[in-house]
Amino acid sequence: MAEDEYISGENTYKENEKIFATRVGLFDHDQKRVYVVALKSFYVPMVGDTVIGKVLEVTFGGWLVDIRAPYPAMLRASDALERPVRPQRDDLPSLFDVGDMMIAKIVACDRTRDPLLTVLERGLGKVTRGQTIEITPTKIPRVIGKKGSMVSMIKNETGCQITIGQNGRIVVIGKTPDDERSAIMAIRMIEREAHTSGLTDRVTEMLRKEKGEKSTKEVVENVPKET
């Protein structure tokens, strides 16, 4: 891919002064660092990531959570309760039951240990409404956009509340199912066309059109009733 003086960045490695890509993706460089933006990958947990997980199992002192990583994540009861746990009294399934979705943060994770989660921060906790969708984790930065431009645009256009997990799960909570649907359509569009430019504008256009169509449809539907 490149030789000599460059520093090997994301998704690349260096051998004998030559840099090779380790994944299929788009090549890019800034000054001396070359890197590849992968087109497809899977989620690898990192400390500090906000993730959206699904409860797999309620165990004695906590929950086992699926965060779409190769490792099962653990949420201990003490990281969800904010006080010492009394195993006899506390009813863990009433907090999170099997199948519940949660927004959580990874507090510990390394090569030898499975990730540990917490929900004791602002914005974290159980997901009680809305819909979750899954996309490839590499496309998450694209959904967020430069300084959050993409999400805030979708939020404004659809009036939905959107939470993005670094593990490629996104929770969309809207006032009506239609709002949620158009937000999801926008996200799917971003996923499909992530490697093209000028995307924010096109997504805006798509959403506006969607809205326009809906309002005209409503008018048409209303007309026969009156007559």
Partner 1 sequence: MKTSQKKPEKLIDEKDIRYDGRKLNEMRPVKIEVGVLANADGSAYIEQGKNRILAAVYGPREIHPKHQALPDRAALRCRYHMAPFSVQERKSPAPSRREHELSKVIREALEPSIFTEYYPRTAIDLFIEVLQADGGTRCAGITVASLALADAGIPMRDLVCACAAGKVEDRLILDLDDLEDKSEGADVPIAYMPNMDVVTLLQMDGMLTNEEFEQVLNMGIEGCRQISQLQRDALKAKYTAAKEAEAEKEDEAEEAKK
Judged by the rule CB under 8 A, the positions of this chain that interact with partner 1 are: 11, 13, 15, 18, 20, 22-24, 38-42, 44, 70-72, 111-112, 136, 138, 192-193, 195-196
| Cβ(106)–Cβ(133) below 8 Å | no
| Cβ(137)–Cβ(167) below 8 Å | yes
Kindly state the smallest distance separating residue 122's Cβ from partner 1, in Å.
Answer: 31
Q: Considering beta carbons, is residue 33 or 113 the nearer one to partner 1?
A: 113
Q: Considering beta carbons, is residue 131 or 136 the nearer one to partner 1?
A: 136
Q: Considering beta carbons, is residue 69 or 92 the nearer one to partner 1?
A: 69
User: How does DSSP assign 195-225, residue by residue?
Assistant: TSSSHHHHHHHHHHHHHHHHHHHHHHHHHHH
Kindly state the smallest distance separating residue 85's Cβ from partner 1, in Å.
Answer: 26
Kindly state the smallest distance separating residue 152's Cβ from partner 1, in Å.
Answer: 25
The CA distance from 68 to 119, in Å, is 17
Tokens of 212: 């326009």
Kindly state the smallest distance separating residue 99's Cβ from partner 1, in Å.
Answer: 18
Q: Considering beta carbons, is residue 36 or 170 the nearer one to partner 1?
A: 36
User: CA dist 148 to 43, 48, 120, 181, Å?
Assistant: 21, 18, 24, 21
Q: Token pair 């999400």 is at which residue?
A: 151
Kindly state the smallest distance separating residue 109's Cβ from partner 1, in Å.
Answer: 12
First-to-last CA distance in the chain?
70
Q: Considering beta carbons, is residue 45 or 62 the nearer one to partner 1?
A: 45
Partners of 73 in beta bridges: 65
